[in-house]
Amino acid sequence: MSDMKQLSKLTLLLLATLGIACGGGSTENGQISDNNTSAATIEEEVVREPELLYGIDVEGYTIKNDTIRSGESLGVILGRRGISAVKVDKLDKMKVEGFSPRSIRADNAYTTFTRTVTDSTGSREVLDYMVYHKNAIDYVTFAFVGDSVNMTLGTRPVDIVRQRNESVITSSLWGSIMEQDLPYALAAEFEDIYQWTVDFFGIQEGDSFTVIFDHKMVDGKSVGIGRIWGAKFKHGDKEYYAIPYAQEEGKLRYWEYNGESLRKQLLKAPLKYTRISSKFSNSRLHPVHKVYRPHHGVDYAAPMGTEVHSVADGKVIFCGWGGGGGNTIKIQHAGNLKTGYLHLSKFAKGIKVGTVVSQGQLIGYVGSTGTSTGPHLDYRIWKNDTPIDPLKIPQEPAEPIDDKHRAAFEAVRDRVVAELDGTTEDFEPITDDDIFGRTTEEEAPKAEE
């Protein structure tokens, strides 16, 4: 009976094959069916759609995730998984687009693809691929299939979600961003955009912000932010807009509602992520000498090594030991202004008397040199050699929107404001084409933010 069944199956298979070869097939009612349909159906049943992970077909593999530990090298990790010293040496000499296997870092993740091989000696696990995660988006694949050794770069697909958020500040900008589970990078972007305009050391409870930004997501997880499409920051009784527009070709800048530049002559502060521990005063109790004396500067308490930046373009006129001020830098600026940076732990590379610096350039690092009770920056400003309060200096804005760009800027502004206010019924969200003033057919210039 079993032989008869096998014969029947072979007969049916032969008939089906003949039917396909002759251009037709049998149907239940005896009619000839279309051969193309039958062939397509068979092909769909036979071909398996591969399931890919980092471009690798996962079928037959055991996949494990791990983390590089302190002191581990790529050779150690691969050697533990049976990769020969010859292959490790071959891989170690490779370099792809500036990446070297020697540059792997502790605490970064990696993924292994192993398969089980059984032979006369028994069963063992063989490593075919290892994927090293440079960051949340970029990865490197090391392949050891057969006798070959290969290394390729890859990028995980990133979803861009345009997002609008608003928040009332209860403690600090960073605190509010953490409370809303927003990307930390958003706070840094805010401080970069508003660094000339908003005093982030003077944030008050009740201040608020609204922002529209591109949220980068990988597998539903946040991996950072892209373009800031617009923002509104309410500080005290003032509202400061940030409208993106490229007045100069390829250079994205942010502007006030009326087209005035958010950029000013001086930065609001020479460093970030700190607090004011002492303000400008003509009579302050000195924390070391315990006597009242003038303190013609602002003290910013900050961790040792925090970067200090020049608040404006200028030339270094003093760089050295300043007595009680410890390591000190003084810079001469336009308009008979001079700034001072005291108690530095060290100076930035290349900073010396005569060095020309630009606004925002790194000049030194927070320290506690000279007469000091702890790490901080004593920041000072002189106008015509007379000390003035850095927190009260009037600010002159940079050049405003030019008349020839006014209409295009205002069109962008109105759409940004509508999106910030949540009233976009009559407006389409702005795009790069709008803010760079080009048509969709033109090639997109690289923005310099």
Helix runs in 120-207, H state only: 173-179, 185-193
Structure confidence by residue, pLDDT tens digits, 103-141 = 899 999 999 999 999 988 888 899 999 999 999 999 999
| Average of per-residue pLDDT across 9-19 | 46
Write out the DSSP string of 289-302.
Answer: T-SEEEE-SEEEE-
The pLDDT-based confidence of 167 (bands split at 50, 70, 90) is very high
Instruction: Look at domain 52-155 and name its CATH class.
Output: alpha beta
The pLDDT-based confidence of 7 (bands split at 50, 70, 90) is very low
**In terms of CATH, what superfamily is 275-388?**
Glucose Permease (Domain IIA) (2.70.70.10)
pLDDT > 90 in the chain, percent: 53
pLDDT at 48: 67
pLDDT at 438: 65
Q: pLDDT higher for 392 or 153?
A: 153
**Residue 283, pLDDT above cutoff 90:** no
User: φ, ψ for residue 315 (rounded to 5)?
Assistant: -130, 135
pLDDT at 448: 46
pLDDT at 27: 41
Structure confidence by residue, pLDDT tens digits, 411-432 = 999 999 999 998 877 778 899 9
Whether this model's pTM surpasses 0.85: no
User: φ, ψ for residue 357 (rounded to 5)?
Assistant: -115, 155
pLDDT at 444: 44
pLDDT at 44: 53
Q: In 3D, which of 93, 87, 68 has the Cα closest to residue 127? A: 87
**Residue 10, pLDDT above cutoff 60:** no
The pLDDT-based confidence of 41 (bands split at 50, 70, 90) is low
Work out the mean pLDDT of the chain and round it to a whole number.
83
Distances (CA, A) of 138 to 58, 219, 265, 273, 323: 20, 14, 39, 29, 49
Token pair of 335, please? Answer: 């308009």
Q: Do domains 52-155 and 275-388 have the same CATH topology?
A: no
**Residue 287, pLDDT above cutoff 60:** no
pLDDT at 45: 57
pLDDT at 126: 93
pLDDT at 184: 87
User: Are the CB atoms for 132 and 140 separated by under 8 Å?
Assistant: yes
Instruction: Look at domain 159-264+403-449 and name its CATH class.
Output: alpha beta
pLDDT > 70 in the chain, percent: 81
